[in-house]
A and B are shown apart, each in its own frame.
Chain A
Amino acid sequence: MTEKKSLWTKIAFALAIAFFYLPIVYVIFFSFNSSRSLNNFTGFSLQWYQKMFENRTMMESIYYSTIIAVIATLVSTVIGTVAAIGLSKSRKLIKESVTQINNLSMMNPDIVTAIGLMLFYTSLHVEAGFGTLLLAHIIFCIPYVMLSVTPKLKQLDDNIAEAALDLGCTPFQALTKVIIPQIKEAIFSGALVAFTMSFDDFVISYFVTGPGVNNISTYVYSSVKRINPSVNALSTIIVLAITIILIIMNVVPMLKERKKKNEKIA
């Protein structure tokens, strides 16, 4: 009976994984195709990689996606952490209102947030471009950072920061030397969520970006009208980059742990 049970669970899981990875494997395979076809493999070639590196708009889209994700992550992590710390000490009214606004921002369908920001920028006669795109990313990332940091803040013992102040810390020192080290991990995981949200965003970027500024998502969307196998090459590069990042993220903590153990033994 248990034997049978463990078999069907394995099959169910294997099928799901096959479904999830099929398009990824497919894209990598066809990025080496020698013809333009998206479903007929005619031979091995690296021409689509060459074409990708020669395509300026495509390379720029990688650049914009990365630079925006990096800046948006840094800025939203700082603002979000500071705001979450302030909010944890605030009166109930302001705490609840800001939480509600953050929920609104996260639960709103992306397309509504997107057109809201688009209308906002046009009302102020701001020209759409890199700046509007970056600001939009910072705006939608902050609530996710706060969502990650706030629960951790609730667990903190207020007396520790209080003690630091009594012992002569300035409030700034209490913040950087006492509070932030205690919530370091939550800040890091918030930053990670912010980075993924920003790097993957399509809908909001599509509505708030200006001419000439494309991230990977908006580039792929715009190139969909004609068949462009270089997109497969681009996808393969992204898959590769993300796999490397994930491996580093999972291996580095493991090595650290091992090092700690070794030190203990020594």
Chain B
Amino acid sequence: MKGFRRLAYPYAIWAVIFVVVPMLLVLIYAFTTRGNSVLTFRFTLANFARFFSDKIFISVLLRSLKIALVTTIICILLGYPVAYAISRFSPNNQALCVLLVTIPMWINMLVRTYAWRGILLETGLSPEMKVYIGMVYNFLPFMILEVYTSLSKMDPNLSVAAADLGCNNRQVFTKVILPLSIPGVLSGITLVFLPAVSSFFIPKLLGGGSFVLIGNLIENYFVTTGDWNFGAAISLIMTIIILISMYFTRKFDYTEEERA
């Protein structure tokens, strides 16, 4: 049996070459400036200084965070009731409902977002509103499915017991169901917030050319301007912000568990 161990080595090498090395390259580019070849590698913080000293870049960063945060909140407010509704149906219907929520996710995101362009064309909504609609549309299913999974795992006897012990319906929900479904909400938050921060085709397709988020900034520096070092630095800043927010989400998850 131990002979099978050897099967892991080729992939271990593959993973280092094709996953770790590209990430290191992003780091190296972020800390160097244009014209630096690998041989004359010189460490610099110039890219980061440029980003944080420019008001425009900061406002794009803040706007991206705001859009992602609001999208996440809307997804919780809309997704939770829907997930809860699904979990109240009979088991057969639940499977069907989950399938109905999943089917649109099979259809290319770009294609679905493109469809919204036509719908929103002459509605007179601001670019920001259109971007919100596109974001919520694309990421809401993730929230619904995560919350539903945690709700469906819950032992229904818990609610019955709480009711027997004198809880009214509202208390059963706020004291039993809601706290137990928090882990689902938290993993939903990760699945919504993360792609929402870095998305660049939703603002491009729905917000028009003038609505720039941090993803569009990265795209511009890689595809249009060709300043890869600065682009790499921006994506590093974005990744760090995502890591920090995920750290807090997880930490919140753990403290919830400890309390329980």
Interface residues on B, range: 35 or more
A20 and B105 CA atoms in complex are apart in Å by 9
Interface string of A50-94 (1 = CB under 8 A from B): 000000000000000000000000000001001101111111001
Tell me whether A117 and B22 are in contact (CB under 8 A): yes
Per the bound structure, the CA–CA distance linking A232 and B107 in Å amounts to: 13
How would residues 77 to 120 of chain B score, 1 for a CB under 8 Å from any chain A CB and 0 otherwise? 01001101110110000000101110110111111101111110
For residue B88, which residues in chain A have a CB less than 8 angstroms away from its CB? 5-6, 9
Cβ of A266 under 8 Å from chain B: no
In the complex with contacts A104-B19, A109-B198, A224-B114, A82-B85 CB distance below 8 A = no
B118 close to A39 (CB less than 8 A) = yes
Asked whether B11 lies within 8 Å of A83 as measured between CB atoms, the reply is yes
Q: Is there a chain B Cβ closer than 8 Å to A133's Cβ?
A: no
State which of A112, A158, A232 has its C-beta within 8 Å of the C-beta of B235.
A112
A238 at the interface (CB under 8 A from B): yes
Structural contact, A86 and B239, CB atoms closer than 8 A = no
Report the interface size class on chain A. 35 or more
In the complex, the chain A residue whose C-beta lies closest to that of B236 is A112
Considering only residues 104-155 of chain B, those with a C-beta below 8 Å from chain A are: 104, 106-112, 114-119, 121-122, 137, 140-141, 144
Q: Is the CB of B111 within 8 A of A235?
A: yes
Contact A113 B22, beta carbon cutoff 8 Å: yes
Whether A16 and B101, one on each chain, are in contact in the complex, defined by CB atoms closer than 8 angstroms, is yes
The verdict on B56 contacting chain A, using a C-beta distance below 8 Å, is no
* A119-B232 in contact (CB<8A): yes
A236-266 Cβ-contact flags toward B at 8 Å (1 or 0) = 0011001100100010000000000000000
* A47: B residues at CB distance < 8 A: none
Q: Judge if B58 is at the interface, Cβ distance under 8 Å.
A: no
The complex places the Cα of A234 from the Cα of B103 at a distance, in Å, of 18
Chain B proximity mask over A185-208: 1 for CB below 8 Å, otherwise 0: 000000000001001101100010
Residues of chain B within 8 A (CB-CB) of A26 are 115, 118-119
Asked whether A120 lies within 8 Å of B11 as measured between CB atoms, the reply is no
Let me know if B107 and A242 touch, CB within 8 A: yes
Q: Which of B42-50, B176-184, B199-207, B251-259 contacts A (4 or more CB under 8 A)?
A: B199-207
Given known contacts A110-B198, A115-B26, is B144 in contact with A16 (CB within 8 Å)?
Answer: yes
Q: Are B235 and A39 in contact (CB under 8 A)?
A: no
Q: Say yes or no: is B25 at the interface (Cβ < 8 Å to chain A).
A: yes
> Of all chain A residues, which has the CB nearest B8?
A86
Known: A82-B7, A119-B25, A238-B111. A207 touches B15 (CB 8 A): no
The reply on B5 being an interface residue by CB < 8 A is yes
Q: Do the beta carbons of B19 and A9 come within 8 Å of each other?
A: no
- Distance in Å: Cβ of B244 to nearest Cβ of chain A: 14
Q: Are B23 and A220 in contact, CB atoms less than 8 angstroms apart?
A: no
**Cα A16 to Cα B78 with chains together (Å):** 8
Residues of A within 8 A of B103 (CB): 242-243, 246
Which of B84, B108, B141 has the most C-beta atoms of chain A within 10 angstroms of its own C-beta?
Answer: B108
- The answer, yes or no, to whether B166 is at the interface (CB within 8 Å) is no
Measured between beta carbons, the chain A residues less than 8 angstroms from B101 are: 16-17, 20
Chain A residues 6 to 29 lying within 8 A of chain B, measured CB to CB, are 6, 8-10, 12-13, 16-17, 19-24, 26-27
Tell me how far the C-beta of A144 lies from the nearest C-beta in chain B, rounded to whole angstroms.
Answer: 13
Q: Is the CB of B11 within 8 A of A12?
A: no
User: Considering the complex, which residues of chain A in the window 119-155 have a beta carbon less than 8 Å from any beta carbon of chain B?
Assistant: 119-120, 123, 135, 139, 142
Whether A120 and B22, one on each chain, are in contact in the complex, defined by CB atoms closer than 8 angstroms, is yes
Residue of B nearest to A228 (CB): B114
Given the known inter-chain contacts A19-B137, A98-B12, A109-B194, please indicate yes or no for A238 contacting B108, CB distance below 8 A.
yes
User: Nearest residue in B to A119 (C-beta to C-beta)?
Assistant: B25
Closest residue of chain A to B243 (Cβ to Cβ) is: A107
Task: Show the binding face of B for A, using Cβ within 8 Å.
Answer: 1-12, 14-16, 18-23, 25-26, 29, 38, 78, 81-82, 84-86, 88-89, 97, 99-101, 103-104, 106-112, 114-119, 121-122, 137, 140-141, 144, 169, 194-195, 197-198, 200-201, 204-205, 215, 218-219, 222-223, 228, 231-232, 235, 238-239, 242, 246
Beyond A17-B101, A39-B122, A102-B15, 10 additional pairs, beta carbon < 8 A: A13-B82, A13-B86, A86-B9, A94-B12, A112-B238, A113-B22, A119-B29, A207-B223, A231-B111, A242-B106
